[in-house]
């Protein structure tokens, strides 16, 4: 199927009520929207001059000024269903209703843009007639409420499940996106705050008090994106561990050794802004103490997050801030100061 079409919207016949396009939901909240579906349906009525429907085609434009539509999926009387994305279903039924539905699970930002649904058919004299509808899929940043909602559902669900870490993984790992705009205001609006807070904390291994802080070792398998870890640390009143001295490092190392099970434990520290300039993710101050492991840091600009590595005797390594799969050998360490 030839997938590139440039259409001028002007030549397409004006909209008729026969053709309906529904986008559910019209706003994608990355990480939180579970499913996006585009449903385009056609019923012939008296107002249309299209007597025979031949195809329904869904197209998308990722530009806003000039609409360059690219083929996404179609259903037609000769060829049935075709698609280049999503999961497609549909049929052409000239006596009743025809439709095409495109569905994506866990939609990403690459799906935003204008969508057009075209109905191609013939009029009474056998000439080609085209009807079309357009609608927009937008991306919305998650609000604090959205995140809290997820955390809340997660913590209630956790109480009901024995395989609790698995569940947390499958829910939180969906938050594969940048929560940049909400990190600092995470405390502002909170429903069930205390319950949520204490049920979150109950998932962590908590160290003894050391120089004013406790260290919270996360449950396994929870995190794909370090931003999620940051948010969870902040929610509990802390931040990803900021290593200020050798003394602090030795305490942390001893704590990790005593609670083995993981191979990798992320701490705070990021060199995404300037290569090899390690900055505490939360405080934005330079990381004061790093005991690098053998051959570290490695990975250059691909590896911008700091972690401690068991097999290098819990010395520091640079890793990706995003992991493609959940793992029960990976965790992160929050530092929560106490008054
Ligand atoms: C698509 O829309 C048509 C008409 O409204 C409806 O009959 C059909 O069930 C819808 N399909 C989906 C998957 O929503
Ligand atoms: C729009 O999508 C086309 C085809 O997938 C791609 O080649 C093009 O770079 C995209 N443009 C923008 C602005 O994302
Ligand atoms: C639609 O496209 C996707 C991705 O190319 C493919 O996996 C799927 O099998 C296609 N067909 C249907 C019927 O969804
Ligand atoms: C069919 O479409 C053609 C081209 O748009 C038009 O000239 C013709 O009058 C139409 N016939 C009917 C019966 O609507
Ligand atoms: C203890 O914490 C204070 C304040 O955070 C810091 O200035 C000091 O260096 C820490 N002491 C040690 C031994 O890490
Ligand atoms: C969770 O509890 C800690 C104190 O243990 C507090 O500092 C933090 O603000 C609480 N988080 C929220 C979101 O209320
Ligand atoms: C680790 O275990 C050893 C031996 O039980 C103990 O002395 C040490 O204080 C523990 N370290 C931490 C950080 O809890």
Mean pLDDT along residues 155-164: 40
Structure-model confidence comparison of residues 316 and 17, the more confident one? 316
> What are 330's two structure tokens?
């990976």
The string of pLDDT tens digits covering residues 268-324 is 999 988 999 999 999 999 999 999 999 999 988 889 999 999 999 999 999 988 766
**111-128 residue pLDDT tens:** 889 999 999 988 888 788
pLDDT on residue 179 = 36
Count of CB atoms situated within 10 Å of the CB of 188: 8
**pLDDT exceeds cutoff 70 at 259:** yes
State how far the Cα of 47 lies from the Cα of 195, in Å rounded to an integer: 58
- Position 23 scores a pLDDT of 94
Average pLDDT, the chain: 78
Residue nearest to atom 4 of ligand 7 (CA): 258
8 A C-beta contact, residue 314 and residue 256: yes
Query: Which residue owns the Cα nearest ligand 6 atom 8?
Result: 237
Closest residue CA from atom 2 of ligand 5: 211
Per-residue CA distances from 105 to 28, 30, 57, 68 (Å): 11, 11, 21, 25
Ligand 4 center from residue 2 Cα (angstroms):
27
How far apart are alpha carbons 308 and 37 in whole angstroms? 42
Q: Quick one: which atom of ligand 2 is closest to the CA of 68? A: 1
Q: What is the DSSP letter of 30?
A: T
How many of the other CB atoms lie within 10 Å of CB of 159? 10
β-pairing verdict for 330-337 and 264-270:
parallel
pLDDT at residue 29 greater than cutoff 50? yes
Give the up-direction half-sphere exposure of residue 246: CA atoms within 13 A in the CB hemisphere. Answer: 2
Using a 6 Å cutoff on CB, does residue 101 contact ligand 1?
yes
The ligand with the least distance to the CA atom of 22 is 1
248 CB less than 6 Å from ligand 5? yes
Going across the sheet that includes 50-61, the strands are 27-29, 128-140, 113-123, 50-61, 70-76, 80-83
| CA–centroid distance for 83 within its chain | 23
CA–CA separation, 131 and 163 (whole Å): 51
pLDDT tens sequence across 224-257: 567 778 877 887 889 999 999 999 999 999 999 9
Q: Which residue has the higher pLDDT, 178 or 86?
A: 86
β-partners of residue 133 are 117
Task: Measure 116 CA to ligand 4 centroid, in angstroms.
Answer: 23
Give 122 Cα–ligand 4 centroid separation in angstroms: 9
SS3 148: helix
More confident residue, 95 or 266: 266
Instruction: Point out the ligand nearest to the CA of residue 314.
Output: 7
What is the pTM for the complete model shown?
0.49
pLDDT bracket for residue 92 (50, 70, 90):
very high
Q: Whose CA is nearest to atom 7 of ligand 6?
A: 237
- Among 236, 239, 334, 337, residue to substitute to test ligand 6 (most atoms within 8 Å of Cβ): 236
């Amino acid at each position: 199927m030839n997938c590139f079409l440039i259409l001028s919207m002007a030549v397409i016949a004006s909209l008729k009520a026969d053709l309906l396009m529904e986008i559910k939901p019209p706003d994608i909240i990355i990480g939180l929207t579970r499913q996006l579906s585009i449903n385009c349906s056609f019923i012939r009525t008296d107002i249309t001059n299209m007597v025979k429907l031949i195809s329904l085609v869904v197209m998308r434009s990722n530009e806003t000024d000039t609409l360059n539509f690219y083929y996404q999926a179609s259903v037609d009387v000769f060829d049935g269903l075709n698609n280049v994305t999503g999961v497609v279903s549909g049929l052409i039924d000239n006596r009743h209703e025809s439709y095409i539905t495109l569905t994506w699970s866990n939609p990403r930002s690459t799906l935003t843009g204008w969508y057009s649904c075209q109905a191609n058919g013939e009029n009474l004299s056998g000439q080609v007639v085209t009807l079309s509808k357009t609608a927009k899929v937008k991306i919305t940043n998650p609000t604090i409420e959205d995140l809290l909602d997820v955390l809340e559902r997660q913590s209630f669900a956790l109480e009901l499940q024995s395989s609790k870490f698995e569940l947390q993984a499958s829910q939180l790992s969906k938050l594969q996106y940048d929560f940049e705009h909400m990190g600092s205001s995470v405390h502002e609006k909170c429903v069930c705050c205390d319950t949520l807070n204490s049920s979150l904390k109950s998932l962590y291994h908590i160290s003894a008090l050391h120089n004013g802080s406790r260290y919270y070792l996360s449950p396994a398998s929870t995190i794909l994106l370090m931003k999620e870890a940051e948010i969870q640390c902040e929610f509990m009143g802390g931040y990803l561990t900021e290593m200020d001295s050798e003394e602090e490092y030795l305490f942390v190392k001893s704590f990790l050794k005593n609670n083995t099970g993981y191979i990798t434990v992320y701490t705070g520290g990021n060199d995404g802004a300037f290569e090899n300039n390690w900055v505490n993710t939360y405080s934005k101050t330079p990381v004061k103490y790093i005991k690098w492991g053998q051959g570290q840091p490695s990975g250059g600009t691909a590896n911008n997050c700091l972690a401690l590595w068991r097999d290098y005797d819990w010395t520091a390594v640079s890793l990706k801030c995003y992991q493609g799969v959940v793992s029960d050998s990976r965790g992160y360490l929050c530092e929560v100061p106490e008054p």
